[in-house]
Amino acid sequence: MRKINEIFYSLQGEGYYTGTPAVFIRFSGCNLRCTFCDTQHEEGTLMSDEEILEEVGKYPATTVILTGGEPSLWIDHEFVSQLHQAGKYVCIETNGTHTLPDNIDWVTCSPKQGGKLRITRMNEVKVVYEGQDVTVYEQLPAKHFFLQPCSNRNIAETVDCVMRHPEWRLSLQTHKLIDIR
């Protein structure tokens, strides 16, 4: 059984796959307590893999995004394999503080200040910008680096940081800007 906060269909609003239709599996609970977290993720329903797959199968997208909370607390190799067997491309949004199954297709690491990274594979790094030194993240093994304003409040400062560090790209929470889930 896995503790699920919600499963829904929408467009990816952040990072590399912005604008892509996806089924989001939002897991409950997180091992960190970030002050800026915009997700109510403590509540949840225990669901079997079969129930999760049935719900995911109701939507036409091939992309599935495992998010949370912190999804690495709830997933394993077998669960990701079941999603693959259902024809899904599996992405995860993680804080990187727990190891991940090696069969995830796309890893978005959103490292948090004070969190010790335990993953070595990531496709993109997405940092919520609060004025911190972003160069400390540039050594991470990713091809894509995104800087995101904190809840779209500090856009000008984030744009300025990206302009000073052109290896980064701006990532806005477009789902909030266009008022979708």
**Structure tokens of 74?**
């709830």
Cα–Cα distance for residue pair 128/116, rounded to 1 Å: 16
Q: Which of 93, 97, 108, 145 is catalytic?
A: 93
Q: What percent of the chain has pLDDT over 90?
A: 79
The question of whether 62 is a catalytic residue gets the answer: no
- CA-CA-CA-CA torsion sign (115, 121, 127, 128): negative
Instruction: Give the residue from 12, 5, 173, 171 showing the smallest Cα distance to 106.
Output: 12
Q: Are 170 and 146 in contact (CB under 8 A)?
A: yes
pLDDT at 35: 60
Q: Which of 6, 14, 27, 30 is catalytic?
A: 30
Q: Is the pTM higher than 0.85?
A: yes
The question of whether 49 is a catalytic residue gets the answer: no
Q: Which of 37, 51, 62, 165 is catalytic?
A: 37
Among the residue ranges 27-31, 118-122, 161-165, the one predicted with the least confidence is 27-31
The question of whether 30 is a catalytic residue gets the answer: yes
Question: Out of 3.40.630.30, 3.40.50.1820, 3.20.20.70, 2.30.30.280, which CATH number does the structure's domain 2-177 have?
Answer: 3.20.20.70
DSSP string, 44-58: -EEE-HHHHHHHHTT
The residues spanned by each domain of the chain are 2-177
2-12: pLDDT as tens digits: 999 999 999 99
The question of whether 146 is a catalytic residue gets the answer: no
- Mean pLDDT, residues 132-146: 96
Cα–Cα distance for residue pair 83/10, rounded to 1 Å: 18
The question of whether 24 is a catalytic residue gets the answer: yes
Q: Which of 84, 144, 165, 175 is catalytic?
A: 175
In angstroms, the first-to-last Cα distance of the chain is 25
pLDDT at 179: 75
The question of whether 67 is a catalytic residue gets the answer: no
Q: What percent of the chain has pLDDT over 70?
A: 91
For all residues of the chain together, what is the average pLDDT? 91
Q: How confident is the model at residue 181 (pLDDT cuts 50, 70, 90)?
A: confident
The question of whether 109 is a catalytic residue gets the answer: no
Q: Which of 6, 24, 109, 158 is catalytic?
A: 24
Q: Which of 8, 18, 20, 34 is catalytic?
A: 34
More reliable by pLDDT, 29 or 116: 116
- Mean pLDDT, residues 115-142: 95
The question of whether 161 is a catalytic residue gets the answer: no
Q: Which of 36, 38, 45, 120 is catalytic?
A: 38
28-84: pLDDT as tens digits: 976 556 565 656 666 789 999 999 999 999 999 999 999 988 999 999 999 999 999
